[in-house]
């Protein structure tokens, strides 16, 4: 582990769609970097107002009516566990439309907002926080939730725009902020086949039932996925912290559910990293794969 003084001045911004996304994607990485002295800011685009109650123990009278307030409280609890800072962009959760074809989203939801309007508060945060590294979702959103896809779009837009004083000049004028160009942009690769297969095979080798058998049997390989894994961050010592942050999102995470079916020692043995695709770098990073989001900085 790097010494704290070696990390002084480093800043990581993690951009997510809903409260709880930060704890299911890259949480152990963030906890590790916090322990090394990195300043970490989670940006949450929506309040998760349309989220269902996924933990049966929390499906009690009055919870659904207070879901927005409760999810803010859960986010604050998770933030403290991870040791990160956190900011809300203030957009309304789009929900996940169901049907074939899916119905249009209601007006005013995050995924319906004009790209420049939705990106403006994120540009402001980048120019304020001044991160060297940003993490977000890929062009498919990690999975095709409209808010995840929109999070990808505004993250790319803000990454490209924040360093150009000619773009979003009103952000600099109103807040007295200079342009700031982040150096590296990463996409989460949380559920790729190589990792799932390693966990699955280790479970079977131990004589345990794997929760991934059906998923792997239905897996379709896509040529464009080859080579996407560029960065593996060792963070197994922080897997418990990740799980504690997940459980803090009590309306969304069932502590007896599938998230926790792989014993911790197997997770550490089979796949002790969290994984990313280096989508954009303005600096020379050397040979890939790398093991540090701040490699080259």
Binding site residues for Zn(2+), as ranges? 18, 21, 148
Number of Cβ atoms within 10 Å of the Cβ of 141: 19
The CA distances from residue 237 to 10, 28, 35, 103, 204, in Å, are 21, 8, 11, 44, 24
CA–CA separation, 245 and 32 (whole Å): 13
Tokens standing for 14?
């993690």
DSSP letter at 104? P
Residue found under tokens 């997510």: 16
CB 187 within 8 A of CB 279: yes
Residue (of 90, 158, 152) closest to 120 by Cα position:
158
Residue ranges for the known binding site are 18, 21, 148
Residue found under tokens 């600096």: 283
Strands 184-188 and 273-281: antiparallel
Tokens standing for 101?
């074809």
Residue (of 211, 43, 213, 50) closest to 134 by Cα position:
43
Local structure of 291: helix, strand or coil: coil
Local structure of 82: helix, strand or coil: helix
CA–CA separation, 260 and 247 (whole Å): 10
């Amino acid at each position: 582990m790097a010494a704290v003084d070696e990390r002084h001045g480093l800043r990581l911004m993690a951009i997510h769609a809903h409260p709880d996304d930060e704890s299911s994607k890259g949480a152990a990485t963030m906890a590790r970097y916090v322990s090394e002295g990195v300043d970490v800011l989670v940006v949450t685009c929506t309040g998760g107002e349309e989220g269902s109650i996924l933990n049966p123990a929390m499906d009690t009278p009055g919870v659904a009516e207070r879901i927005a307030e409760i999810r803010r409280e859960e986010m604050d609890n998770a933030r403290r566990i991870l040791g990160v800072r956190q900011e809300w962009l203030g957009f309304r959760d789009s929900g996940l439309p169901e049907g074939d074809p899916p119905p249009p989203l209601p007006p005013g939801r995050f995924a319906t907002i004009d790209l420049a309007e939705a990106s403006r508060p994120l540009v402001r945060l980048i120019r304020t926080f001044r991160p060297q590294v940003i993490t977000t979702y890929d062009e498919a959103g990690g999975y095709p939730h409209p808010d995840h896809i929109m999070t990808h779009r505004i993250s790319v837009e803000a990454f490209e725009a924040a360093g150009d004083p000619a773009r979003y000049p009103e952000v600099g004028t109103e807040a007295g902020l200079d342009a700031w160009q982040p150096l590296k942009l990463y996409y989460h690769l949380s559920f790729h086949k190589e990792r799932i297969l390693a966990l699955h095979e280790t479970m079977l080798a131990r004589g345990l039932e794997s929760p991934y058998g059906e998923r792997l049997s239905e897996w379709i390989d896509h040529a464009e996925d080859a080579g996407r894994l560029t960065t593996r961050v060792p963070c197994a010592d922080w897997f418990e912290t990740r799980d504690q942050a997940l459980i803090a999102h009590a309306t969304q995470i069932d502590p007896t559910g599938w998230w926790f079916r792989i014993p911790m020692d197997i997770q550490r043995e089979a796949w002790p990293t969290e994984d990313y695709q280096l989508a954009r770098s303005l600096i020379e990073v050397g040979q890939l794969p790398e093991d540090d989001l701040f490699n080259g900085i």
